Structure 1
Amino acid sequence: MNWQASPSAPRRPLRVAPPAHERQGLALGLLGVAIFALTLPMTRLAVGTPAAPQMSGLFIAMGRAAVAGLLSLALLRATRAPLPRRGDWLPLAATALGVVFGFPLLTSIAMRHVEAVHASVIVGLLPLATAAVGAVLHRQRPSAGFWACAAIGAALVVAFALLRSGTQGLAIGPADLLLLAAMLCAAMGYGFGGQLSQRMRADAVICWALAFSLPLTVPLAWAGRPAVAVPAAAWLAFGYLAVFSMWLGFFAWYRALALGGTVRVSQVQLVQPVLSMLFAIALLGESPDAATMGFGLAVIATVFIGKRMPVHAAH
């Protein structure tokens, strides 16, 4: 008996599971996003409001980088990490410009004038910007389905942020422009940092970027130090920003970009604004509602579908 299938019989496409390193990259990316999700609410606590100012934006941004830089020096010495190669210095400078100076400074200044929920309207577009930078740097060509999922996810995030922001909407003010510039800085820092993580340890990437920045971050932090007593809650928020947002979070994030690819892993960031809003509810006293859970589940579903869309290497 001939058991061979008929040539005319349709063949079912095989479903190939993502490689183990890609799954690990997505898991680490989610860990990094969870750490970063507290950044905006913690910055709001540390910087205060126009009516009740706490620390200056300059001190929060440069102070957290200075603390993380000193921790980085200790870790680099303890692990006897080799100096970066000559060809890595320029990407390290671009990484530092984006995530050590640009994003922290711009967001710290902006967050005194807008709530964390409103800030997510702009920062919610970060996955698309990161994917675009990653596609250029890593010569990747995402499929149309991948970009469609990314766009839908970003639209969901923006729609939810608009719903939570009430009457503020998308009126472009100075703080919004600062947040937009911060988002672009973060995308650049993520892209170049992810590229470096392909040939350096992920922790070494952020540690060297922070260590090289110390000659600037330390004196700038000292210049912006608080002149009056600051509540303990603001110092605790500053401590989180220094140790987790500026340091440990990047250990997981850059390793995730190296394992799973910048274009694909960047889409995990779509969950970050939703998590930030949930944290803002707990820390800033906002009331939860059904829309929070509904949009959160919708965004997570979009990420789940989008990470299965093909991403090809450009020829």
Structure 2
Amino acid sequence: MTVQDSATHSSPIAVTAAASGRGTLLAALGVVAFSLTFPSTVWGLESFGPWSLVALRSVLAALIAGGFLLALRVRPPERRHWGSLAVVGGGVVVGFPLLTTLALQTSTTSHAAVVVGLLPLTTAVFAAVRTGRRPSRTFWLAALAGAAVVIGFTVSQSGGGLHRADLYLFGALLVCAAGYTEGGRLASVMPGWQVIGWALVLCLPLAVAGAAAGLSYEPVRLTGQGVVGLVWVAGVSTFFGLYVWYRGMAEIGIARASQLQLAQPLLTLVWSVGLLGERLSPAAPVAAVGVLVCIAVTQRARA
């Protein structure tokens, strides 16, 4: 065997390592994009009503996705995948943006970040149910502990009860976890970016109708921050963020990608202070760290 042959035979290992590093970087970029979603949504609400903002966000993201799909001449998915794509669209394109936007009308981004910090854990639970795998007892104990931390935090911050914003946020956890789970499954049979691309295109008619209705009834007051907020949540959070996120998951797996998302709540807390000038309650970072610890235990238990 020549030196050249030896290098050729060893290349799969190098390619695998490179793919792992690339997948980790892509997933990490997705986490950074997601961490700025709540502050950008608050900015967007300066110019648009909640329904208009969510609809316009979906329309713009779908147009970007559709442009890529057309330019690359991507064939439509097989009929058997459209049901899962509908779940992805309903969860991450419509449900999560709408529920979190409604919540952020009365909730601070720091409060919402801690509650949504349970998303990786919720996704793991959905994935366990969807795939039929049975996590260990340690996993479930940590899952319950994380849920207790989040519920305790929301109740203490809400004066002893749950407010409407908290109900929106808990609903957002459920629909987004379902969307992540189905998206992760689809990323194993089609390129990850096509998962979110076709989900956005599927939701385009509904988004256009929603935008028309929302703009008819909600006032529009264009500001610089409001426009930047809309552009970010549409182009970066909804399309680019989910594009690199699903592509990263396809290369390194759902479990490894979800571990990177553990940093998202803390990043959002930093943005809420730096960009919005919010003051964190002493309980917010404590609760965020508590959730991260619980989720880290679940990841270790799953491994």
With over 3 angstroms needed to count, the CA separation of the structure-2 counterparts of 1:155 and 1:244, relative to structure 1, is farther
Q: 1:247: which partner in 2?
A: 239
Structure 1 unaligned residues grouped into runs of 5+: 1-18, 49-53
Letter matched to residue 241 of structure 1 = V
Deviations 1:255-308 (A, max 9, x none): 233333334533433321111111100111135799877777777677666545
- Indicate the residue corresponding to 2:188 in structure 1: 198
Instruction: Please state whether the residue corresponding to 2:134 is helix, strand or coil.
Output: strand
Match of residue 271 from structure 1: 263
The alpha carbon displacement at 1:28 in A equals: 3.3
Q: Say whether residues 1:237 and 2:235 are aligned partners.
A: no
Identify the match of residue 44 of structure 1 among 42, 45, 51. Answer: 42
The structure number with the bigger radius of gyration is 1
Identify if the C-alpha distance between structure 1 residues 264 and 309 changes in structure 2 by more than 3 Å, giving closer, same or farther.
farther
Q: Which residue number corresponds to residue 74 of structure 1?
A: 67
Paired letter, 2:187: S
1:215 aligns with 2:213: no
Q: Which amino acid aligns with 1:178?
A: Y
1:24-103 alignment, distance < 5 Å: 25-48=23-46, 54-103=47-96
Inter-CA distance 170–95: structure 2 relative to 1 (3 Å threshold): farther
Looking at structure 2, the residues matched to 125 and 63 of structure 1 have their Cα atoms a distance apart, in angstroms, of 27
Instruction: Normalising by structure 1, report the TM-score.
Output: 0.78
- 2:273 corresponding residue in structure 1: 281
Change (3 A) 1:297 1:125: closer
Distance 1:33 1:264 in 2: 13
Give the distance between the partners of 1:200 and 1:167, measured in 2 at CA. Answer: 43
**Alignment root-mean-square deviation, CA:** 3.0
Give 1:227 deviation, angstroms: 3.3
Distance change (3 Å), C-alpha of 1:170 and 1:246 = farther
The Cα of 1:230 is off from its aligned counterpart by 2.1
Matching residue's letter, 1:47: L
**Larger relative contact order, structure 1 or 2 (CA cutoff 8 Å, min sep 6):** 2
What is the CA-CA distance between 1:121 and the residue it aligns to? 3.8
- For 1:287 and 1:276, the matched residues in 2 are separated by 13
Change in Cα spacing, 1:170 to 1:270, as seen in structure 2 (3 Å) is farther
Aligned to 2:117: 124
Q: Quick check: 1:157–1:274 contact (8 Å CA) kept in 2?
A: no
**Percent of aligned pairs with the same amino acid:** 37
Residues 1:194 and 1:24: Cα distance change in structure 2 (over 3 Å)? same
Shift of 1:200: 0.8
Q: Which amino acid aligns with 1:100?
A: V
Alignment partner of 1:140: what SS?
Answer: coil
TM-score using structure 2 length: 0.81
Offset from partner CA, 1:22-50 (integer Å, 9 cap, x none)? 665454333212110111111122224xx
Distance 2:182 2:138 in 1: 25
- Identify which range, 215-224 or 285-294, moves more after superposition: 285-294
What is the identity, as a one-letter code, of the residue corresponding to 1:262?
I
Indicate conservation of the 8 Å contact 1:95/1:190, yes or no: yes
Deviation at 1:101, TM superposition (A): 1.1
Q: Figure out how many residues of one structure are paired with residues of the other and give that number.
A: 285
Task: Write 1 or 2 for the structure with the bigger share of helix.
Answer: 2
2:112 maps to 1:106 = no
Secondary structure of residue in 2 paired with 1:45: helix
1:186 paired residue among 170, 176, 201: 176
Pairwise CA distance, 1:61: 0.8
Distance in 1 (alpha carbons) for counterparts of 2:69 and 2:200: 11
Distance 2:136 2:253 in 1: 14
Distance of 1:287 and 1:22 partners within structure 2: 38
- 8 Å CA contact retained: 1:128, 1:151: no
